[in-house]
Structure 1
Amino acid sequence: MVNAIDKQSGRVMLMLYELEVLQSDSERIGDPVALPLTDIISSGGNANRTEATDNNQTSTSAVPPATNVIRQDSKALPTLDDRNNTKHFNGDNNRASSKGGNSIDKERIVNIDTLNPYMNKWTIKARVSNKSQIRNYQNARGPGKFFSCDLVDQSGEIRAAAFNTECDKFHSLVEVGKIYYIARASLKPANRQFNSLNNDYEMTFNYDTCIEQCDADEGQCIPQVQFNFIPISDIANRQANSVCDVIGVVKSSSNIDTIVSKTSQKEFNKRELLLVDENASITATLWGQQAEDFDGSSNPVLAFKGIRIGDFNGRTLSTLSSTLICLDPIETPRTIELRNWFDKEGKSIDLPDLSKGAEIGNQQAPFKTFSQIATEGLGLSDKPDYINVKAVITFIKKETAVYMMCPEERCGKKVVDENNGTFRCEKCNKTYNNFKWSYMVSKKTWAGLGRAEVDSPWAGLYWPNPAHSDL
């Protein structure tokens, strides 16, 4: 225990380095005497520091001018900046270390799932499963920068972040896939707005944090990453904008597409994948460098950790900057299961597509009449309203029931006949030698309680891969 005196303001800060409860109920021990703060603050840097002892005798101790810290046994204690060079610690529970103040106590290794903010001394042995780039931010205190990384051991996972000085210090030190001893970091409740890992807490690297890489032969039992997969069909029941872990086979992938942000006017590259498992399929969107580097020609098994669920036109998946993508991961038996299933039968099966509203069948949509649709203003908001309608078709537009569709998988847009044997798709910005026929039927319906003549009297039916028996 030490008293640190601030010469400028005269404030006293009590710093407890170690505390052991010997007895919970006890009378005052001895006759405490206050430190002579006035003499200490007013004296110069080379003056001797004086403090009272238990036998009321005085002793002097010369303190270097660089420190204003005094310990009760009159021996100089190094300042916070000098703790890296400390060779000895006082107290029965402290042990001498020839490695200095930043040495890691490898005898205190604990599991990640036991970490909490109330633990005093701990060390974890964990693998870095994911690491973000350095990102800049601006808040009321000014500009700053940070990076985050995900740590995993046999028991669980936790996210760690480093800001500003510590960001520069640790970003180049930690590498994805390697195993480290980590000690003396701060712990706090996880911010669910930015952290979706399966842990109630998150870690912050600070000035006192010590990170030491393990030897190559250590930590062979620590997994590369921890997944909590859900089936693709379960995504229909998950809340929009939540994140999940999912795995599937890439049945098809689109070309790189460039979009312009409405807010920042920046261009972003994206690539859409059709991800399938045994029961359903869904569209997953890759962004930026991930989209540019991805090659789905071999129909790989793809695992996503922390991918966001969207609700535009059904259910979709979209990667975030923190999303971890694993190609043919060996950490899970699902990779082999999906590969065998897809090669035998999956590549030729048409599965329900959650990104085309296939999940609506799982929802308890109410029945509505056309007059109720108009009165309640359904379908006028930014998000779709799902309903059931029982009606009779009274008229079909035959002239525009069929159109020429782009042959690219997942496009569906109309192509223009160039009158030279080729067909151009404006969305894909490409010219093709063929096209696909598709149905888009406009019809009027009647439900007996009001015609479907609210704003538009027509309803549309769409078949991207039609068969004549469908009509």
Structure 2
Amino acid sequence: MTENIQLTEGFFQDLFENKVKNDDQPILQVLRTRFLTNSATICMKVQTSDGVFYFNNVGMTVELSDRVKEEKLEELSGFPVIKILSFSCQTSGDKRTMTILDYKILSRPDAKIGEPIQHTGDPSTFTGIMGAKRRMTENSASFGGMPAPPSKRASVDPSSVGLYRISAINPFNTGKWKIQGVVSNKEEMREIQGKGGRGPFKVFNFEVVDKEGSAIRIASFGETAEKIFNQIQKDRTYYISGTSNAIRNANKRFNSTGHDYEISFNSDCVVEDCDEQIAKAKFVLKPVPLAKINELNGQTIDVLGVIEKVEDCQTIMSRDQRELKRRNIHLIDQSGALISLTLWAEHAIAFDVAETEKRVIGIKGAFVREFNGTFSLSINSSSRVEVDPEGPQTDSLMKWYETERPNMEVKTFNQGSQGGNFLEELRSVHAVNKTDMPSRALRGVYFDMVGVINNVRMEGAIYPACPNEGCIKKVTEVDSAFRCEKCAQSFPECKYRYTVSMEVCDATASVWLTLFDEQATKFFGKNATEMNILMRDDRETYNNTFQSKIFTRHQFRCRARMDTYNDVTRPRIQVFDIKTLKLDQFSLALDAQLDKLEKLPA
């Protein structure tokens, strides 16, 4: 009997999202065991379930060896339910493991509890799954009972299925599901090449929104796509039904609906015209404060902000020498952060500057990206944008902008200059040089470092750059003009910029850092144009400006990442901020590191 036993559902997802406290005592079920005789750390491997997930990389510490045998846990009589009294977690590369240090057997039921699915240890695979599971129960309140489970590959009889909220669609819908929604966006049919050279085959995506404003993306492939493409029309309402095998995790990079899942329209799915038309797709936003977008890099979010400034539309050259139209729009909200929204192509051209500046804009499905530590937003064809969307949030934001914005100090959001926890992110030069830290993340790892400037390379510290805003490419002088190959333009004047290399050392080692224009201007007290004039007219002052920084100690905010140039990949460390060292904070950080060293096993 298992009905009176409550496992700690979702424990493994919370564990890998770092939401579990050290003193938590989860209740888990043992599904499989394997006793080990050749391990110095664990005596038994245990496949363990929390009722939603099971995880294979769990072990009993070797100190529990006698107790495991005494309680016959390795014989696996039934499916023991245990309370974990103490445990530890380890990470090695991409592999995560959990070691049980102490436990208590609560019962030995004969059956497995629930239908757990395997967790690999990667939390991004199941982001939002527990919230979706909890929302399943909401359907019965608004749309009647839950439908009965289908056979393995049963097609759907739409007339026999109760309606679901779109927000409640998830892989845990064990029965048939059916939604009603208006098509808010429909993409054109296109051909793609399949894996292993298969194809090409056709694909198109569309999005539907229900009466509550919840949206979901639906992807259709091959013959199914061709069959329903002409039937699906924008602004028309449909019933769409299917089974749980059509639901998959949403790719947040391309899915702007905000839903954790999307529907892969397969042969089990049915689309029907709906007589009850939804007049207009409801525009519902769950806006993220602009000051928090650094936590959501690579994801789509909802945004509500005031248009502070609209830049002119510019023509730039792509890497493959195509002309692209681009326009930057600066947004601000009550969090005080000023963020750039980049529009491309038709969106950039069509944006009405005169009618939108100093008004509220709502975006459903803005994509967050980071480049060189600076965060920005962009939209795609499936993003929904409304100026002055109806609702109290718009009124409140506009009132704030008119009354409080004029007296507010605005912050531009930059992960590099903003910094993190100095006590946690302080690193020695040796740790940066001799570990794999630069390669741990695709866009690099941010950290703090304290050191003395040992040398500054003055040659090549300044270069002539393109004067176009947003372009930092080096220009070449051709026929008394400066040519930018990226922008495919020539200019009578160029803009000088810094790219300074300097050697920094601490008690452990030395390393070369790169300092770019904004940070170098702040550090040396002169912009690159002024330094270029000194280099030409007063070489002594030019040299002294750089040499005055040698043998001075500072706190550096840096990013380390792997950089490829001329087919050679090597670590590159960029400086995002230089601060005067506060010795009291530095002392606390060193004490914290010594405490960690003392706690390491001998």
TM-score, length basis structure 1:
0.57
1:325 and 1:284 map into 2 onto residues whose CA distance is 14
2:468 and 2:461 map into 1 onto residues whose CA distance is 21
Query: How many Å apart are 1:129 and its aligned residue?
Result: 2.0
* Residue aligning to 2:259: 198
* Residue aligning to 1:280: 337
2:159 and 2:465 map into 1 onto residues whose CA distance is 66
* Residue aligning to 1:409: 469
Listed one character per residue, the Cα deviations across residues 191-250 of structure 1 (whole Å, up to 9, x for unaligned) are 3346564255636375983533557xx535x64343332122212123x43333334437
1:392 corresponds to 2:434: no
Listed one character per residue, the Cα deviations across residues 32-58 of structure 1 (whole Å, up to 9, x for unaligned) are xxxxxxxxxxxxxxxxxxxxxxxxxxx
Which has more helix, going by share of residues? 2
* Residue aligning to 1:228: 286
Listed one character per residue, the Cα deviations across residues 51-98 of structure 1 (whole Å, up to 9, x for unaligned) are xxxxxxxxxxxxxxxxxxxxxxxxxxxxxxxxxxxxxxxxxxxxxxxx
* Residue aligning to 1:83: none
Query: How many Å apart are 1:189 and its aligned residue?
Result: 2.4
Pairs aligned (count): 354
1:351 corresponds to 2:411: yes
- Aligned partner of residue 463 in structure 1, secondary structure: helix
Amino acid at match of 1:133: E
Residues 462/334 of structure 1: CA separation in 2 closer, same or farther (3 Å cut): farther
Amino acid at match of 2:294: A
Most deviating of 151-160 and 380-389: 380-389
**Matched ranges for 1:304-383 at <5 A:** 304-314=363-373, 316=375, 323-328=382-387, 330-331=389-390, 334-335=393-394, 345=405, 351-354=411-414, 357-361=416-420, 366-376=425-435, 378-379=437-438, 383=443
- Aligned partner of residue 293 in structure 2, secondary structure: helix
1:392 and 1:107 map into 2 onto residues whose CA distance is 70
Identify the match of residue 486 of structure 2 among 405, 427, 430. Answer: 427
1:224 and 1:108 map into 2 onto residues whose CA distance is 22
Amino acid at match of 2:203: F
Query: How many Å apart are 1:459 and its aligned residue?
Result: 4.1
Structure number with greater Rg is 1
Residues 366/192 of structure 1: CA separation in 2 closer, same or farther (3 Å cut): same
- The question of whether the paired residues in 2 share the 8 Å contact of 1:129 and 1:224 is answered with no
- The question of whether the paired residues in 1 share the 8 Å contact of 2:298 and 2:369 is answered with yes
- The question of whether the paired residues in 2 share the 8 Å contact of 1:438 and 1:465 is answered with no
Identify the match of residue 237 of structure 2 among 170, 173, 180. Answer: 180
1:313 and 1:202 map into 2 onto residues whose CA distance is 35
- Aligned partner of residue 265 in structure 2, secondary structure: strand
Amino acid at match of 2:206: C
* Residue aligning to 1:7: none
Residues 132/267 of structure 1: CA separation in 2 closer, same or farther (3 Å cut): same
* Residue aligning to 1:58: none
Residues 301/408 of structure 1: CA separation in 2 closer, same or farther (3 Å cut): farther
1:126 and 1:213 map into 2 onto residues whose CA distance is 9
- The question of whether the paired residues in 1 share the 8 Å contact of 2:364 and 2:384 is answered with yes
Query: How many Å apart are 1:324 and its aligned residue?
Result: 0.9
Query: How many Å apart are 1:412 and its aligned residue?
Result: 3.6
5+ unaligned residues in a row in structure 1: which ranges?
A: 1-102
Residues 336/418 of structure 1: CA separation in 2 closer, same or farther (3 Å cut): farther
Residues 470/336 of structure 1: CA separation in 2 closer, same or farther (3 Å cut): farther
1:369 and 1:225 map into 2 onto residues whose CA distance is 50
Residues 302/407 of structure 1: CA separation in 2 closer, same or farther (3 Å cut): farther
Listed one character per residue, the Cα deviations across residues 297-336 of structure 1 (whole Å, up to 9, x for unaligned) are 7547554433444444225457576641414252555556
- The question of whether the paired residues in 2 share the 8 Å contact of 1:309 and 1:315 is answered with no
Which has more strand, going by share of residues? 2
* Residue aligning to 1:53: none
% of aligned pairs identical? Answer: 23
Listed one character per residue, the Cα deviations across residues 421-445 of structure 1 (whole Å, up to 9, x for unaligned) are x755443333456665655555444
* Residue aligning to 1:33: none
TM-score, length basis structure 2:
0.46
